[in-house]
Structures are given as structure tokens and as C-alpha cells.
């Protein structure tokens, strides 16, 4: 049987320690027709020279600037397709992979005639036996995605495949295109999967394809101002594009409640009656620069930029928040 060409694309941005550890695991993958590419998103450390020294066989692409997760990976995808890759495997640099991962993902894709977006069963790097992701679903009541952490044993349909390890065929890419750079960071893979669904293409979790992930390693954890900004702004954009008008309005309302709570530092601030007064107070405080925390400020700026249609990279104020 023909051995398809699989291109692994790893995006790096000032994360050389994680990237080298990821590459070490990638080069233990048991698969013959594999190419490995690192796309550097304008790192200001010595990432590129250290990758060249340690792994001269890696294809290293230097973007010269931080293009974000979506466009940074798109650069690699275009190069891989130009080199006749049959499959693309996007892999976060803060991951470690199982040696059989490509074989397992390829088997799942071939079972579906190469159509689909395939994610992996993802474990916490710090707790290797604990599952972080085995599928996801949109909770319309709480207006958020919920990860399944069930130890599934069969390939399962999921609302989206987690972007830290995504496997997709050339055939699928020709139908749905590349990720939208407007998101820059977060929700780009979710938007991609929902776009695929509109073409009748589903996303799957492949439990035999195993990954260990250092969750949000690039941001020092899940509550950083930068990550908060993108999560707030991009969830609103994603819901606008992919949910009904009623559901999108509910996402806006829920996001406003969250903004009020974190900006007033109160236990509960429902947006009912006097809640509108609280919202006005919050907006005024942010306009005059009075806010209780960096995360609260990032929350507000994400909301503001969504409504003013400012997408792409975050503003300098967000990246400078402590």
C-alpha cells in the first residue's frame, strides 16, 4: 500500500525549550514518509539557531514577525502542500507525542475516505495519566465549550478538534481552505471545524492518537491578560459566524455578565434591572482607567475591540498588562 506523505508543522514563538522537547518526541514517531517543519513566528530569542544546531534536518521557516497561530500555521500549510504533502499534522510546540500517533491518525482518516478533521486524546503533561481532552461540545446554556475527559476507546465525533494537535488531509483542505487569520489566536481551529461542518465534514477525536500537552505554556497559564483578551474577543466573533442570532445574543449577554463580575470584583452581578447600571459603571471606570486587575482590563478590551471590529493581533496595551 502507498505510504502517504505527512507533514508535521510546529509553530514556535520564543519557546525553544518546549520546541526542542517536542521535536525530540516527533523524531521518535514510527512512520516512514514524514517531513518536519518548524515555522518561527518572529522569535526574539535564539530559537532558530538552536533548532538548526540540534535538528539540521528540520525545515525551518522564519516569518520575521508574529503572525499569530492561524496565519503562522497557514504559512507552513502552504509550503507543505507545495511539497505534495498528502496530510498535514499541526502540532503545538508545547506537546509530546506518542510514537504511533501518525499511524493511528492516518488509519482514522482513511476509514472516512480522507475527509474530516482529526484530533487526539490529550493528556496533561504534568499529570501524564490524566485526560485533558477527548472531545468537546458547545454548552448552549453556559455559552462555552466543555471538554470531555472520558477515557473513550473508539473514534468519536466532536464539535471541534483541539488545535494543539490536528490532522487534516489535502483533500479536506481543498474543500474548506485555510484558517482565518482574523482570529490571530484562539477559536481559529473552532471556526475551521465549524466551517468544515457546513460542508458536511465532521471533526473527530482519535483516542489511540495520544498527546501530552503543557496547557497554555506560552502564556504562563490559562488566566493571563493576553489569553483572556483573545478568548473574550474571539468567542464573540466565532459565535457571530457560527451560531444563530438568538444564540449569539446570549453569548454577548453572558460575556457582559462576566465583564461586570470581574470589573466590580463582586460575587454576583446579574445583568437585570440594576445590572445595567453596573454595566454603565464598569464602562465608565474602564474609560477613565480605573479597573481592579489586568485580567479585568483584558476582558473589557476584548469586548471593546469585538464591537469596534478590531481583529488580528492584540493592542499594545494588552501585551503590556502585568
Residues 208 and 262 in one domain: no
Does the residue 177 lie in any domain?
A: yes
Residues 144 and 285 in one domain: no
Residues 81 and 214 in one domain: yes
Residues 193 and 309 in one domain: no
> Average pLDDT for residues 190-197, to the nearest whole number?
98
User: What is the count of structural domains for the chain?
Assistant: 2
Distance CA 91, CA 302 (A): 26
Does the residue 270 lie in any domain?
A: yes
Strand, helix or coil for residue 90: strand
Tell which residue, 33, 311, 30, has the closest CA to residue 184. 311
Does the residue 186 lie in any domain?
A: yes
Task: Tell me what pLDDT residue 274 has.
Answer: 62
Residues 101 and 246 in one domain: no
Does the residue 1 lie in any domain?
A: no
Strand, helix or coil for residue 66: coil
Distance CA 228, CA 295 (A): 7
> Average pLDDT for residues 269-273, to the nearest whole number?
49
Domain limit, last residue, from 219, 252, 283: 219
Decide if pLDDT at 183 tops 80: yes
Residues 47 and 196 in one domain: yes
User: Which pLDDT band, with edges at 50, 70 and 90, does 57 fall under?
Assistant: very high
Residues 129 and 184 in one domain: yes
Backbone phi and psi for residue 220, each to the nearest 5 degrees, phi listed first:
70, 25
> Average pLDDT for residues 200-204, to the nearest whole number?
98
DSSP 105: H
Task: Note the pLDDT tens digit of each residue in 138-148.
Answer: 999 999 999 99
Domain limit, last residue, from 163, 190, 219: 219
Asked whether 112 and 196 are in contact (CB, 8 A), the reply is no
User: Which pLDDT band, with edges at 50, 70 and 90, does 222 fall under?
Assistant: low
Residues 126 and 46 in one domain: yes
Residues 136 and 245 in one domain: no
| Rg of the chain (C-alpha set) | 20
Residues 195 and 249 in one domain: no
User: Which pLDDT band, with edges at 50, 70 and 90, does 267 fall under?
Assistant: very low
Distance CA 129, CA 115 (A): 30
Residues 192 and 295 in one domain: no
Asked whether 60 and 53 are in contact (CB, 8 A), the reply is no
> Average pLDDT for residues 232-244, to the nearest whole number?
98
For residue 38, the enclosing domain spans 6-219
Does the residue 204 lie in any domain?
A: yes
User: Which pLDDT band, with edges at 50, 70 and 90, does 49 fall under?
Assistant: very high
CATH number, domain at 103? 3.90.550.60
Lowest mean pLDDT among 185-189, 219-223, 245-249: 219-223
Amino acid at each position: 500500500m502507498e505510504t502517504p506523505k505527512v507533514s508535521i508543522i510546529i509553530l514556535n514563538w520564543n519557546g525553544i525549550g518546549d520546541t526542542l522537547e517536542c521535536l525530540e518526541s516527533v523524531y521518535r514517531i514510527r512512520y516512514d514518509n514524514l517531513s518536519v517543519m518548524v515555522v518561527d513566528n518572529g522569535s526574539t530569542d535564539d530559537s532558530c539557531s538552536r533548532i538548526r544546531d540540534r535538528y539540521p534536518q528540520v525545515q525551518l521557516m522564519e516569518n520575521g514577525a508574529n503572525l499569530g497561530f492561524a496565519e503562522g500555521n497557514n504559512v507552513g500549510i502552504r509550503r507543505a502542500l507545495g511539497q505534495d504533502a498528502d496530510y498535514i499534522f499541526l502540532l503545538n510546540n508545547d506537546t509530546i507525542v506518542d510514537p504511533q500517533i501518525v499511524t493511528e491518525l492516518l488509519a482514522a482518516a482513511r476509514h472516512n475516505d480522507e475527509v474530516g478533521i482529526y484530533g487526539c486524546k490529550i493528556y496533561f503533561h504534568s499529570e501524564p495519566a490524566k485526560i485533558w481532552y477527548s472531545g468537546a461540545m458547545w454548552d448552549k446554556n453556559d455559552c462555552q465549550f466543555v471538554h470531555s475527559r472520558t477515557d473513550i476507546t473508539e473514534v468519536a465525533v466532536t464539535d471541534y478538534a483541539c488545535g494543539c494537535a490536528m490532522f487534516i488531509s489535502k483533500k479536506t483542505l481543498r474543500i474548506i481552505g485555510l484558517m482565518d487569520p482574523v482570529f490571530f489566536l484562539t477559536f481559529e481551529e473552532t471556526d475551521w471545524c465549524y466551517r468544515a461542518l457546513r460542508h458536511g465534514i465532521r471533526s473527530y477525536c482519535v483516542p489511540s492518537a495520544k498527546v501530552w500537552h503543557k496547557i497554555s505554556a506560552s502564556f504562563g497559564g490559562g488566566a493571563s491578560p493576553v489569553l483572556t483578551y483573545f478568548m473574550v474577543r474571539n468567542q464573540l466573533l466565532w459565535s457571530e459566524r457560527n451560531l444563530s442570532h438568538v444564540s449569539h445574543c446570549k453569548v454577548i449577554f453572558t460575556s457582559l455578565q462576566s465583564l461586570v463580575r470581574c470589573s466590580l470584583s463582586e460575587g454576583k452581578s446579574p445583568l437585570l434591572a440594576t445590572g445595567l447600571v453596573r454595566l454603565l459603571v464598569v464602562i465608565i471606570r474602564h474609560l477613565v482607567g480605573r479597573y481592579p486587575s489586568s485580567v479585568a482590563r483584558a476582558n473589557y478590551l476584548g469586548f471593546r475591540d469585538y464591537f469596534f471590529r478590531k481583529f488580528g493581533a492584540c493592542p499594545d496595551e494588552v501585551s503590556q498588562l502585568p
